[in-house]
Structure 1
Amino acid sequence: MTTAAAPPQLAARARAVRTSPVREILALTARPEVISFAGGLPAPELIDADGIRRAYDQVLTDEPRRVLQYSTTEGDPDLRAAVAARLARRGLPTEPDHLLVTTGSQQALTLLAAALLEPGDAVVVEDPTYLAVLQCFGFAGARVFAAPTDDQGIIPDRLADLVARERPRLLYVVPTFQNPTGRTMAADRRRAVAEVAARQGLWIVEDDPYGELRYEGTAQPWIASYPAAADRTVLLGSFSKTMAPGMRLGWLRAPAALRRACVIAKQAADLHTSTVDQAAAARYLAEADLDAHLARMCAVYRERRDAMLDGLVGALPPGSSWNRPEGGMFVWARLPAGYDATALLPAVVAHDVAYVPGAPFFAGAPDPAALRLSFTTHAPARIAEGMARLARALGGQSATG
């Protein structure tokens, strides 16, 4: 009998890139009795299910042969026109042909990594940063460097030093209501980041999934709007937070040559994003009042943010700190020195409440005392109960966990 040889190992990148702690925590906290502040999930009751259903019904009734067929890689022309019009109204002149529709903005990151990065290339991210981008760049074989930040985001002078030293290909930022911290980068820093990119030769990937979820304060200009960075900034957007995450619809706005490279990468990945989902989204944007819907969402989310901020006073140990985001979905908190949010999580989940430890979001040295809490999913009374459970869970815990 011939002895079968073992199959080849997985690729090194597949062996090296870790799974998402957020997805693991979501699985751990799937029990209905758990009040989870872990996932960045839109409130399900605020999704306009009736309006979205009507949009699907209309396109399936009016154009079944088109919307159930293959379509172009670039995306539904009506959807791209609607996105371009919304961007223009918000201060960024955009034509439909400037856009590529993607299967969620997460796919846009994958396409950009395929188009821009060779194994071993350097990239820069905020520290901390969106967890999935670390996975994405890890799969691309990139070397990830953490740009120093403070409560206003990236520190431009420190960024300039890092870029000069490591010569990265791109910088990834979430300037508005950042994930995980909820902070917003001021206009002067955005301009400075654009100038660093222009001066030192750098692509900027500007991710904006939360920008329309503003509860107070003044909107800041996109980095893509500054002339210094207009030829080197890719703006990413998504309907996951404003329409429905299950539709998996995002888009990227990029200079022509890079956009064309992303189109080719997308052809290799999935040919095109779902035709019927794009058509339904375009019809929804034409028939419904998304701005009015967003105003209702923001009014509800503002109350929930305030309920969480009020509850944290008694929920976290004395000496803890947290921020007050002007929008988005997240509060970033820090326990007193000596506490470890990861080590404490099992005891917290045992009290049927959950958060996400902050450590996995860091590309540099992690802060073990940090944690992220999402306030959008639950009503204020449920948030208050969750804060009470968190207080009980942490009340008997020492600094060593």
Structure 2
Amino acid sequence: MSETKFKDIANQITSRIEQGIYAAGAKLPPHRELANELGTTPATVSKAYKLLAELGRVESFVGRGTFVRDKSALNQVIQPQHQELDFNFSILQPCLVLNLNALTEAYTQAAETLSPTLLAYADDSGHSAHRAAGAIWLQKHGLQSASSENVLLTNGAQHALSLLVETLTEPGDTIAVEALTYPGILAIANLAGREVVGVNLDDDGLCPKHLRKVIKQHSPKLVICIPSHQNPTGITMSVSRRQAIADVIKASSTYLVEDDIYAFLNNTPIPAISDLLPQQSIYITSLSKAVSPAMRCGYIKAPDALLPVLAAHIRANIWLASPINFAAATGLIEQGTAFELASAQLREAEYRQTVAADILKDFYETASGFHIWLKLPEHWRVDRLVEEAKKRAILVSHGGYFSVGDTPNCVRLSLMSISSRDRFEEGLIQFAELLASKPMPFSDFLN
């Protein structure tokens, strides 16, 4: 068998996956059937399937066959740290050791103020005081139109996104997203049976001209964007770009969903797009990145006309988000501690970006916030790089999981999930050495 034949077949299968010929979850042809189609042997197809399994593109089950892996599966993007030896650059979360003492105190104070009212059911998506605190958080970071009357409480931003997709769209509807976007959005759309179309990005974020074209061609019910420190590219929209996006949305019948979960990382507040679109925009944020993902406190600011239906869906699905969590969050916000924690995370992110820029200087492009979107050198392909990194206990996020279209030859690195600065630097150094090295031959890779 030619040393490159199985690689050529693996590349053909990958191309079919990316073109949608073999969709996520689809069963690939049996070895003999594909061998006959491609004029090769079942053994060669078997080796190609083995390579694709090693690269994470397919998975095989005894007695069932080989299936295309779903690139929107969140467990492939965010890999849990099974042992302290891992250099986990895949989880996009705050540096939790900075917030631990404040969180302990906040939950202690919440426990000391338990009352029958707090422990009972509540109307209107939660207690008024908790919604008022959410409005303070939103106003601080650029959304001036937030108030206790138009803010709803959710179990984090992911729940908020799922709620909006469920409430404002139907199966088969189209949702427009950034061409490179947060995989949680893709996972929600995939599970809900909604079609997704990508909108191009440029150096200033979502491209207004292409957005206008997408709206005209596909009539999406929702347009979802991340305007600040976009995941995964790190782009923050300028004020003029936000105005341009608002102008495009105004000329349509679609809703904009502004997922501004990283607004606290802006050194000065940037006006929210939603303030320019009071009747056509829904604003989402949470405390997951600034305080803790375990707190599960999300906030939605929606147009008045949508508040009753959104509140009804919250009641029907979860009744209300945990008041105990929101009591702790409200204490942090009202005392100003939440803003101090957010500032500490910003300072730590700036420090780690500086360290990363130095260690990865041969590969690094300008970035900010909690992560880096890294374009790989020509001698590395993203599938191979991610697998080789994992062998060295370095966990990074594959660029394909963020893409609506073709797989970019990129990875995303989270800079905050490794608590120790020394260990963070050690992991970056090892990753830089891997980037600079040459991939081993495929024959060695498979053994």
Same fold (TM over 0.5): yes
Residue-by-residue CA offset, 1:323-376 (whole Å, 9 max, x unaligned): 322xx3111110134632122212111222121111110112221x11101112
Higher relative contact order structure (alpha carbons within 8 Å, sequence separation ≥ 6): 1
Equivalent residues in 2 for 1:2-401, closer than 5 Å: 18=70, 20=72, 22-24=74-76, 26-27=78-79, 29-47=81-99, 49-91=100-142, 92-214=144-266, 216=267, 218-226=268-276, 229-313=277-361, 320=363, 322-325=365-368, 328-337=369-378, 339-367=380-408, 369-378=409-418, 379-398=420-439
CA distance in structure 2 between the aligned counterparts of 1:31 and 1:209, rounded to whole angstroms: 28
| Number of aligned positions between the proteins | 376
Query: CA offsets, 1:159-208, max 9 Å, x none?
Result: 11111111111100001001111111122221111111110221000001
2:243 and 2:365 mapped to 1: Cα distance?
27
C-alpha deviation, 1:74, in angstroms: 1.2
SS in 1 for 2:265: coil
1:125–1:144: 8 Å Cα contact kept in structure 2? yes
Assess if the C-alpha contact under 8 Å between 1:340 and 1:400 holds in 2.
Answer: no
Larger radius of gyration: 2
Tell me which moved more, 229-238 or 82-91: 82-91
Residues in 1 aligned to 2:397 and 2:373: alpha-carbon distance in whole angstroms: 10
Retained in 1: the 8 A contact 2:77–2:398? no
Contact 2:125 2:315 in 1 (8 A): no
- Contact (CA 8 Å) 1:308, 1:383: kept in 2 or not? no
The one-letter amino acid of 1:164's match is K
TM norm structure 1: 0.87
Distance across 2 between alignment mates of 1:81 and 1:350: 48
Q: CA deviation at 1:22?
A: 5.0
DSSP-derived class of the 1:235 partner: strand
SS of residue paired to 2:438: coil
Q: For 1:261 and 1:15, how far apart are their aligned partners in 2?
A: 33
What are the ranges of 5 or more consecutive residues in structure 1 without an aligned counterpart? 1-13, 315-319
Asked if 2 retains the 8 angstrom alpha-carbon contact of 1:213 and 1:298, the reply is: yes
Q: Percent identity?
A: 27
Question: Secondary structure at the residue paired with 2:360?
Answer: helix
Paired residue secondary structure (1:200):
coil
Give the letter for the 1:220 counterpart.
I
Amino acid at match of 1:61: E
Does the Cα contact within 8 Å between 1:120 and 1:142 map onto a contact in 2?
A: yes
Deviation string 1:210-249 (CA, Å, 9 cap, x unpaired) is 11023x5x543211121xx221110001011122211111
Q: What's the Cα RMSD here?
A: 2.4
Q: 1:69 to 1:400 in 2, by over 3 A?
A: farther
Contact 2:71/2:400 (8 A) holds in 1 = no
2:141–2:269 CA contact under 8 A, matched in 1: no
Aligned pair in 2 of structure 1 residues 26, 51: CA closer, same or farther (>3 Å)?
Answer: same
- Assess, with a 3 A threshold, how the Cα gap between structure 1 residues 121 and 25 changes in structure 2: closer, same or farther: closer
Shift of 1:382: 2.2
